[in-house]
Amino acid sequence: MRDFTYYAPTKVAFGRDAVERTGALVREFGGTKALVVYGGGSAVRSGLLDRVCACLEAEGIGYVTLGGVKPNPRLGLALEGIGLARKEGVDFLLPVGGGSVIDTAKCISYGLANEGDVWDFYAGKRKASAGMPIGAVLTIAAAGSEMSNSSVITKEEGMIKRGYSSDFGRCRFAVMDPQLTMTLPAYQTASGCVDIIMHTMERYFTKEPDTMLTDQLAEGLIRTVMENARVLMREPDNYNARAQVMWAGSLAHNGLLGCGMAEDWASHQLEHELSASYDVAHGAGLAAVWGSWARYVMAEKPERFAQYAVNVMGVALGADDPAVMAEKGIRATEQFFREIGMPTNIRELGIELSDEEIEELARKCSNDGVRIVGGFKRIDRADMVKIYHMARG
Ligand code: NZQ
Ligand code: ZN
């Protein structure tokens, strides 16, 4: 087990009608004028935005709004938000939405609190030294941005999608009412469930020994999400299933399941190029590449995949050699993805990749051949090409 620092400072207001606490929470964390950030309209249609604004008014907190955040959020809108917030004298950021909306608010926060070009942080050129306070009202259980230290933004020029992680971007509070997620289309619910599972797996697939507690937390979390994802495909209004998945989404990505582990994240990097170039839902993109990644890296430590197969996917512990058990676990996971309507290869995502397009994805993912990703197995540009080929379908 590795040494670690665990830091999860976000205050969580969880449960039915937790939204009503939003204004008081903004006040508690010092906000006097908020920039309310939202997406393409779901929060308007559901009446959530009006409820949030009414809460702010009840607390005497001023606000301005910025809508139009797209999934796989773009730098341009964040820059617009930085300008608007400066002009309006905003001192608090209040995203109302999912990962894309929260990540846009994080980018705005860095832009407001630091001099210079905010993209520098995402390009890895320098680090932020401050952030304007953020509190989130979450509407989809998926990215985990409400408790994570990361944000992922796409720069329109070249469609480059990059993440930046900093504790200055962590939300001061997160309002999580599982009822808010009941309006999600089934595809988004399923895609979110995959993302939650993948945030757990990216940490779980490690060669680090002696990680029993974190392993068991991770295994339990994945089983919980799989079971409740199946329930939600039949009963989208099931409060308990919504609640289990929503809380799992935060715990999967707030650092808890990384404690003591050596993390991987190759599947995420491979996926980010897909969603940057083809604008697919992030979780669906992960489902499309994961099986190929798993088969490509499995030989590094088949016992780890065999443990996953038994403890998570319920594969019987037999006399099989670990590689056989591992393959059974990967297949069972792909079967689960199909059950909830998720793809298991890139063709099923609706993308027909040519050889040239695969080369281009690998070029971008490897930063022109200089970036190596992954921890379970180090993945370079040539490996990326092979995995994309396997995942092409
Ligand atoms: O824009 P609106 O109209 O709100 O519609 C959204 C959007 O189309 C819709 N939606 C959200 N809540 C809804 C709803 N529709 C009906 N009812 C509701 N209650 O869902 C769609 C997807 O929203 P989005 O915010 O994009 O989803 P998600 O939370 O999956 O975020 C994905 C983004 O987060 C990044 C991804 O790469 C992607 O850009 N990630 C961020 C991470 C982080 N900050 O820690 C980690 C992740 O690994 C991920 O990379
Ligand atoms: Zn993710």
Decide if domain 11-180 falls under CATH 1.10.3720.10. Answer: no
pLDDT-above-90 percentage for the chain? 99
As to burial, measured by CB atoms within 10 angstroms (0-12 exposed, 13-18 middle, 19+ buried), residue 341 is middle
Helix then strand count (H, E) for the chain reads: 15, 8
d(CA 104, CA 107): 5
**pLDDT at residue 115 is higher than 90:** yes
d(CA 392, CA 22): 44
Helix pair 186-204, 239-251: axis angle to 10 deg: 40
d(CA 378, CA 76): 33
| pLDDT for residue 319 | 79
Alpha helices in the chain (DSSP H): 22-28, 42-45, 48-58, 75-88, 99-113, 119-122, 186-204, 212-234, 239-251, 266-278, 282-297, 302-311, 322-339, 355-365, 381-392
| pLDDT for residue 317 | 84
Sign of CA dihedral 217, 222, 226, 231: positive
Q: Which atom of ligand 1 is nearest to the CA of 154?
A: 39
Ligand 1 centre from 100 Cα, in Å?
5
Choice from 153, 161, 282 to test ligand 1 binding pocket (greatest atom count within 8 A of CB): 282
> Where along the chain do the CATH 1.20.1090.10 domains lie?
184-391
Ligand 2 centre from 99 Cα, in Å?
9
CATH class, domain 184-391, is: mainly alpha
| pLDDT for residue 318 | 80
Nearest to 68 by CA among 59, 60, 77, 76: 77
> Where along the chain do the CATH 3.40.50.1970 domains lie?
11-180
| pLDDT for residue 393 | 96
What's the predicted TM-score (pTM) here? 0.98
Across the chain, what does the average pLDDT equal?
Answer: 97
- Residue 275 binned pLDDT confidence (cut-offs 50, 70, 90): very high
Ligand 2 centre from 321 Cα, in Å?
31
Q: Residues with beta carbon inside 6 Å of ligand 1?
A: 39-43, 71-73, 97-101, 103, 139-140, 142-145, 148, 150-152, 180-181, 183-184, 188, 192, 195, 253, 268, 275, 282
**pLDDT at residue 70 is higher than 90:** yes
Ligand 2 centre from 122 Cα, in Å?
16
- What residues does 62 pair with on adjacent strands? 33
Choice from 139, 154, 202, 242 to test ligand 1 binding pocket (greatest atom count within 8 A of CB): 139
